Structure 1
């Protein structure tokens, strides 16, 4: 479940026929989609999740990207499988990767895609839950929410994050 953010980034890369390249200076894999003002850099840190700021901050410096232009895709225990939410600014919500990024940046002013993975029901079961594989039904729901998020990427790239949020957050019937 803790790879839900990577599932989104991989799906985005596949939808645009992108090829990942290992980038040691970025402590991860990266690829560029598009050109000019519509160019999009994707990053998959190879560091431990709770040390992802090393990779993220290296990429921000190298590509001269402001944190406010960044979208971090991550798993979220507080959302049920099948739910994805966009957000700008805020706290880390107990998510260790976000905690590390925010400690490095000194703030939370960046975009996030929260991919719901559900909660096991008791705090003592969280680690095993996050590191474990989802049930088949949960996996299908998570992948569906990733597809929903992919559908709003063009709006976000075009600079209309609010429209992307509205579309993603509007319930399907």
Structure 2
């Protein structure tokens, strides 16, 4: 993997919301790797570059708002010649319950505006996704308000647990062993 993208919305008003689960994941990874994120105007986001297994890996948090996340991803990919199958996008997932994290390659976009914009800008849906479960409000008309608010107090520790558990497979992801990471992440203890 050469690019790890955490999706979210910039600004204090969105910090801690369900939609910012991807930002939270990348924040924790950057702390774990002692690689602070810094503003990179040319890539429309906060970035850090690390070296893992003799490969340069970029961490990216687009600062373009969710529905324009692809602008940041495409800019960095074009500059560094990163291919779609070398990207993992970490994002909130309505179709998974809080406490669940799943890794997959390709597939549908599930109505996620960040994924839609990335797929449109890359010209493919064939990139890896690390999906952090946030649950569904039950009414599709309530989704926007739901994702833009913090989780309820009983959901927050479950989402936190899913983020932490998925960070544990980082060494496998860093080695390019995404199938092994998927197996470990999806196997119940």
Q: Does 1:115 align with 2:142?
A: no
Deviation string 1:92-133 (CA, Å, 9 cap, x unpaired) is 111110011111122111111000000011111111100011
Name the residue aligned to 1:132.
149
What does 1:25-40 align with in structure 2 at a 5 Å threshold?
Answer: 25-34=42-51, 37-40=54-57
TM-superposed deviation, 1:137: 2.1
Q: Is the 8 A contact 1:38 1:158 kept in 2?
A: no
Cα distance between partner residues in 2 of 1:52 and 1:77: 18
* Equivalent position to 1:3, from 20, 29, 35: 20
TM-score scaled by structure 2? 0.88
**Unaligned stretches of 5+ in structure 1?**
none
Match status 1:102 vs 2:119: yes
Q: Kindly indicate whether residue 53 of structure 2 is the aligned counterpart of residue 61 of structure 1.
A: no
Q: Contact (CA 8 Å) 2:50, 2:57: kept in 1 or not? A: yes
| Partner-residue secondary structure (3-state), 2:98 | coil
Query: Counterpart in 2 of 1:146?
Result: 163
Moved more, 30-39 or 15-24: 30-39
Distance 1:165 1:36, change over 3 A: closer
